[in-house]
Structure 1
Amino acid sequence: MPATGSFTIYYFATAAQFTAKHTERLPAPLPLSQLYPFLEERYPGLRDKILGSCGVSLQNEYVDIKEDADRIIQAGDEVAVIPPVSSG
């Protein structure tokens, strides 16, 4: 059961390497528009080096940080930072 007042964020590939974490719990609620600034504060350089090319999902649905800025990440939600996938 999720902790009260927090959501889980998952980091994949380069995002996981940069943060040195695969998952962590962050305080909720958090407006989606504040996700990148919040992560940048915790991990300086993350926005420019990683987040600019990443996709974000909220509750297993891709979201657009700008277009969906008014959405609120609620306690118990799951967010994923997904770097671009390359195919060979």
Structure 2
Amino acid sequence: MRYRLWDAGQEVAKIAVARIDPSFDATTLAALSTAAVAILFLPVQSRIDRWTEARLEPRIGRLRTLPEMLGTRAGRVTSGQLAEAGLV
């Protein structure tokens, strides 16, 4: 996934640099776009990671307790009740 994002970022940077100055040759264009992506990739990736962890962490915590919850209710409730309890 990261390689796809890297490649996509590099292509976007190539397009941006080419629009700024179309006279760049292909080698210079590739070098500038690679440098731009290298500078921006890690900060953007870490910001996305922090955002997704903040959004998903509460749900992941509930999933981690699911086996224990299911074990304590096994044999006493129906599968529909287990499903409802897992969704709450």
Q: Comparing both structures, which one devotes a greater share of its residues to strand?
A: 1
Higher radius of gyration, 1 or 2: 2
TM over 0.5: same fold?
Answer: no
What TM-score do the two structures reach when normalised by structure 2? 0.21
- Which structure has more relative contact order (CA 8 Å, sep 6+)? It is 1
What TM-score do the two structures reach when normalised by structure 1? 0.21
